[in-house]
Amino acid sequence: MKTTTKMSNSTSHSNQNNNTSTTYKQKCTKKVKYRDKQKFPFDVMLMKFAIVVMMVLTEVNGQSREPRFHSRRDVDNYQWPSPGDADYRTFVFNGRRYGHYSPIEYGSKTSGRNIPGLYPQGILRDELNRFEINNPNSGQVPFPGILAGWREDLQGKERRDSLTLERDVFVTTNYGQVQGFKVYMYDNPDPKSFYRPYHSTVDRVMGECTVFLGIPYAMPPTFEGRFKPPRLHRGWQLIQAVDFGPACPQPIRFTGTSKGVNDMDEDCLYLNIFSPQTGAGVAQKYPVMVYIHGGEFIHGASNLFQGHILASFYGVVVVTFNYRLGALGFLSTADENSPGNYGILDQAMALKWIYDNIEFFNGDRESITLFGPGAGAASAGLLMVAPSTRNIVKRVIAQSGSALADWALIQDKYRAENTSRVFGRLLGCSIESTWKLVNCLRTGRSFHKLSNVEFPPDVGTFPWGPVLDYNFTVPGDDWYDGWREKDWRLLAETPFNLVKNGKFNQELHYMTGVTTQEAAFFISQNESLAPYYEIDMDFFNQKIREHVFRYNYTLNPDGVYEAIKYMYTYWPDPNNATIIRDQYINMLSDLYYRAPVDQMIKLLLERKVPVYLYVLNTTVEALNLPDWRKYPHEIEHYFLTGAPFMDVEFFPKKDHLHRNMWTDNDRNMSHFFLQIFSNFARYGNPTPQQVLGLHFEVAYQGNLRYLNINTTFNSSIMLNYRQTESAFWTQYLPTVVGVLVPTYPPTTEFWWEPKEPLQIAFWSMSVICFFLIVLVVICCIMWRNAKRQSDRFYDDDVFINTEYDQDSRTVGVDNAHMITNQHGVKQRDNIYQYRDSSSAKTLISKTPTDTTSIRSPGSLAMTQKSNSQLSLKSTISFTKDSNGAATTYTSSQPTASLRPPRNAINTTTECVTSNGLAVVVPPHLPSYPIKATEEENLLQNPRDPTALSKTSAQSEISYKSAKPLTLNRTTTPTTIISTSTNTSNLLTAPLPYVPQTKPQVRTQVIEGIPQTSV
C-alpha cells in the first residue's frame, strides 16, 4: 500500500514537472512569434537552440544517478562496467573502498529491513525508502555490498526464507569494530549423509559460517606508498566488511564480472575471514588456514577462493588476502630507489595482522597454516624461512610449488634490474638512471597502465617475482617518513641455505603435492595451437632451443640442448604427435614444479621435518577436460572450495557450473581434500585416521613415500616419484654447466645518454685526465728547456786555442802559474776560456776544415758529440782582448737554423782579415763580396800569416749580434767559434785594427782548486 502511495506521489511529481515545462514552452512560443513579426531570423534560431538545451537539462535533472553506475528497473540487459573500462569507477564509503557492482533490482529488497549497524531497530519503513537508489529525491551514496540488497555472489542463491534469517555480526578487534554477516549452507559434504541437492524441493540449512569481507590490513599503497613497503593501518571506529575489497591491479584479461574479479584498484590491501563461529563459548580456538592465491605473481585475487565449506563443516578459520602483483608488487632496481619485494612484504604484513587479531574471530594464533597453489606455495615457502614471519608459520601445504624454483625467487639482482628497465622502456619512461625510472613510474603512470603491460622477460619464464635482497642498498630510517630500514628487508640468504641450516620454526610440518600434467596450461593458453592443440617434433625442438637460450647455458648450449632432447624423447615412437605433446608437458612440469618440490622435500628430510606427499592423478569429472589436460595445475581448487556442495552463484560465470553437474567421485574427492587439509592444519597429520579408506605415510630419506590419488577407490602408497627426471634438472644439468648464468639483455645505458650519475662520473674523469695530460706536456717542455740550458753550459761548449799547434796536443792548458794570481779570482771570467792575441800561426792552423777544441772538465765525462752538432747547438762567440778592447761576434739563433746542409759541412766559415783578426759569419746572415786577391792569397798560402796581414783596412769589419751571450757565472764556460757552412754565405767586412798585446795570465779558484789560464 505504501509502495503504491509512493509511486503515485512520484507520478504526480513528474506530471507537475511536465505541466511546468509545457507552460514554459508556450511562453517561449509566443516570444518566437513576436520575434517572427519583427523579422529577426537570427534571434529566432537562437531562441530555438535555447529551448532545446532547456528541455535536455530538464530530462537530465529527472535522473537520480548516471545509469552506467547503477541498475534501473527499466533496463534489464545492463552490463556492469568491468575494470579497465572507460566508465569503471570505485567509491569510498565509511573509510573503505568499494566497487559499483550492485545486485539486480537494487533497493527493492531493502524495504521492510533494517539497515544493519547504522539505524535503530524501530525505524519506519518510509524512512528506509528514501535511501533507495531509484528514488529521485535521494542524494545519498549507495550502500555497499549486502547492505544494499541481496548479493548472490556473496550470499548465494536467494531462497524464500533468506530474508528472515539472522545476518549481522559485529566483532571488535585491535583496530576497531568490524561488521560482518552470516552465510548459510544448504548442502552437506559428508558422504555418510547421502544428501543430494536434487533429492528435495525444499532446501534446508545444513551449516553456517560468519564472513568478514574486505578488512584493510595495511594503509592503501597509493601516492607516496607506491613502490614502498606496506604500513600498518591506523585503525577505524566501525567498518562494514560486507563486500570483497578491490583486487590488486593486473592485466584486464584476467578481470571482469564473468571472471570473478568485479573490482580492481591500487587500494587493494584487504583480507577476508571465514569463521565457523565468532561468539563466545567456544571451548577451543579453531586452527587458522591462510590461503595465498597463485597466478605467477601477475594475476589473481582473494575473492576467487571461497572458504565457506571449510569453515562451516571442518572447524577451521579461513583467511584470504590480496597482495600487490606485477610491477606494482615486484619492481626492483636492485638499489635504494626500488628494492622490490612489495608483494611478499604485503603477505608478511597480512600474517602479522592475522597473528594479532585472529583470536577475536575464535582463531588460534599459535596454529597458523599457510597453503596455496603455484605462486602461493612458493610464497608460503618464503614466509616459512623469512626472519620476520618464521616464528608465526607452523605448517605449510605447498600445492604444486616450491620456494626453490627458479621463478619463485630471483637471486640475481642484475636480472631483476634489467627486467625493470625493459618494463620502463615499454612505458616510455627514462632509463637513464633508476631514480628517473622509478619516479616516472610512480608519478607519471596510472596503475591501469602499469598493470596492463605484459611482456616476455629476456631471462626466465615469468617476469615478476620476489628478489633476494642480498647486497642491496635500501633506504635508511630517516629517508621516508613512516618507513624504516627494516621494513624493506625480506631475505638476505637463499631459501636453500636457510632450510639447510635449519632456520625455520622447529615445530614445522610440511605437506606438498603435484599433479601429473602441471604445465598443460602452457599449451591450453597458446591460442596459436587452437583448436586441436597438437604439436610436432619441430615445435618441440624449437621450444627446447628457446629454453636453452632463455636461461643461457653458455658453457655448452648445444650439449644441453641435446641432453634435454634425449631425456624427453619417446624413443619407441619419436614422431608420435600425442606422445610428443605429453613429453613436452612433462618437461615443463619437471622443470618448474616437480624438480623444485623434490629438492625441498629432501632438504627438509635432512632436518628431520615431517613431510607428507601426494600426486594427484584424478580430475573433476564434471568439467569434461580432454585427456591431455585432465589433471592440470591447480585442479584442487574446485575440491578445496567445496564447489560440489555450494551454490553456483558463488563462482565466476566463466566456469559454467550448475548445481547438478557434479558426480559422486567429485563430491568424494572434494570431501577428501577438505578433510585432509583441515586435519593437517589441526594435527600436523593429514590422516590421523583414514579418510574414505585412504591414509598418508610420512616420507623418509631414501624412501620418499607418496599417496598416488587416482580415485577414492584405487589410490595407493608409492615410492620415489620421478626421481630421475628431477635429478636431471637439479643435479645433472648444473654439474655439466657449472652454474646457470643468465644472459642479461643489452644494457640500456650508454655513456652519452645518462646525466646522473654515470655521465657526471664520465665527464669528471675526462676533465681530470685532460688536466693530467696538459700537466705532463708542460713538465716535458720545462724539462726539455732545462736540458737545453744544461747542454749549452756544459755539454756542447768548445774553446778555441789560438796558439794550438802540433806540439801542444799533448800539453793542454797550463793553469799552474795562476795559483798566485788573485786577480783571476776577483774577475768573474771562465778560466777555461783562452784569452790571447791571435798569431799568424793560430790563424793558419784554422784554415783547414777541422777545428780543434778543448772541452771543459765537466763535459769531458760526457759522450762526445760530432763537431757539427756541437757547433750547431752552441752559441757562437768570438772575443779578442786587446788592452781591454774586444771584438766579439755572438749568435743566439736556434740550432735548427744554424744546421748546414750536408754538402757544405766541411766548408769553413771563417774570414781572416789583413791585420790578423778572424770573423765568423753564420750561414743565415747576408754575405758580402770578398776581394779576389785576399781569397787567392789565402788559398795559395794557407799557412802563411803574412798573406792575411796584407788585407787593407777597408775590408775589416766589426760585427756584433743583437743578442750577445751573457755569462751568469765565472764558472760558466764560453763557447768557441767552430761552424761549418757554405762559403757563399760568408759575411766579409773590414775590421778595425787592434794592436797585439802580450798574453795575460789569470788565476781563478774553482771549487777550492786554483786554476791558471793564459
Model confidence pLDDT, tens digit, residues 555-574 = 778 888 999 999 999 999 99
485/548 same-domain check? no
β-partners of residue 363 are 286
Residue of 347, 350, 339 lying closest to 376 (CA atoms): 347
pLDDT of residue 848: 45
Dist. CA 255–CA 244, nearest whole Å: 14
472/520 same-domain check? no
The 3-state DSSP composition of the chain as helix, strand, coil percent (nearest 5) reads: 40, 15, 50
pLDDT per residue as tens digits for the range 770-823: 999 999 999 999 998 888 887 766 554 444 444 445 454 444 445 544 444 444
274 assigned to some structural domain: yes
Q: Name residues whose C-beta falls within 8 Å of residue 789's C-beta, 6 or more positions apart in sequence.
A: none
CA–centroid distance for 648 within its chain: 44
Residue of 880, 611, 598 lying closest to 725 (CA atoms): 598
End of a domain among 499, 518, 550? 499
Residue-range definition of the domain harbouring residue 713: 508-737
Count of structural domains, the chain? 2
The region that residue 407 occupies, defined by phi over 0 for left and psi between -120 and 50 for alpha, beta otherwise, is alpha
Dist. CA 985–CA 926, nearest whole Å: 6
pLDDT of residue 593: 94
393/540 same-domain check? no
Dist. CA 416–CA 469, nearest whole Å: 11
447/514 same-domain check? no
Residue 70 CB neighbour total at 10 angstroms: 19
Return the axis-axis angle of helices 537-551 and 557-567, rounded to nearest 10°: 140
265/162 same-domain check? yes
For residue 542, give the C-alpha cell: 624449437
Q: Confirm if 333 and 438 have CB atoms less than 8 A apart.
A: yes
Angle CA(346)–CA(593)–CA(387) in degrees, nearest 5? 35
End-to-end CA distance of the chain: 152
pLDDT of residue 1000: 62
pLDDT of residue 79: 60
Strand segments, DSSP code E, in 292-419 are: 317-321, 363-373, 395-399
Residue 410: which CATH number? Answer: 3.40.50.1820
End of a domain among 702, 737, 772? 737
The region that residue 62 occupies, defined by phi over 0 for left and psi between -120 and 50 for alpha, beta otherwise, is alpha
599/701 same-domain check? yes
DSSP per residue, 393-429: --EEEEES--TTSTTT-B--HHHHHHHHHHHHHHTT-
Residue of 229, 210, 741 lying closest to 479 (CA atoms): 229
pLDDT of residue 356: 94
End of a domain among 455, 475, 499? 499
Phi, psi of 239 (to 5 degrees): -125, 140
Q: Confirm if 591 and 568 have CB atoms less than 8 A apart.
A: no
471/519 same-domain check? no
Return the axis-axis angle of helices 375-385 and 342-357, rounded to nearest 10°: 70
Q: Confirm if 796 and 856 have CB atoms less than 8 A apart.
A: no
316 assigned to some structural domain: yes
| Residue written as grid cell 790578423 | 916
pLDDT of residue 1003: 63
Q: Name residues whose C-beta falls within 8 Å of residue 913's C-beta, 6 or more positions apart in sequence.
A: 919, 948, 951, 955, 956, 990, 991
Q: Name residues whose C-beta falls within 8 Å of residue 337's C-beta, 6 or more positions apart in sequence.
A: 434, 435, 437, 438
314/232 same-domain check? yes
834 assigned to some structural domain: no
Dist. CA 674–CA 13, nearest whole Å: 58
709 assigned to some structural domain: yes
350/480 same-domain check? yes
pLDDT of residue 763: 83
Q: Name residues whose C-beta falls within 8 Å of residue 799's C-beta, 6 or more positions apart in sequence.
A: 832, 833, 834, 853, 854, 855, 856, 973, 974, 975, 976
Q: Confirm if 799 and 834 have CB atoms less than 8 A apart.
A: yes
pLDDT of residue 99: 74
Residue 967 CB neighbour total at 10 angstroms: 15
Dist. CA 611–CA 605, nearest whole Å: 7
For residue 911, give the C-alpha cell: 774570414
442 assigned to some structural domain: yes
Return the half-sphere exposure (C-beta side, CA atoms, 13 A cut-off) of residue 701: 8
689/565 same-domain check? yes
pLDDT of residue 142: 65
Distances (CA, A) of 157 to 520, 560, 621: 34, 56, 24
What is the residue type of 672? F
Which residues of the chain, if any, have pLDDT below 70? 1-81, 84-87, 100-142, 552-554, 738-758, 792-1014
324 assigned to some structural domain: yes
439/558 same-domain check? no
474/543 same-domain check? no
pLDDT of residue 51: 60
565 assigned to some structural domain: yes
pLDDT of residue 999: 56
How are beta strands 363-373 and 286-291 bridged, if at all?
parallel
546 assigned to some structural domain: yes
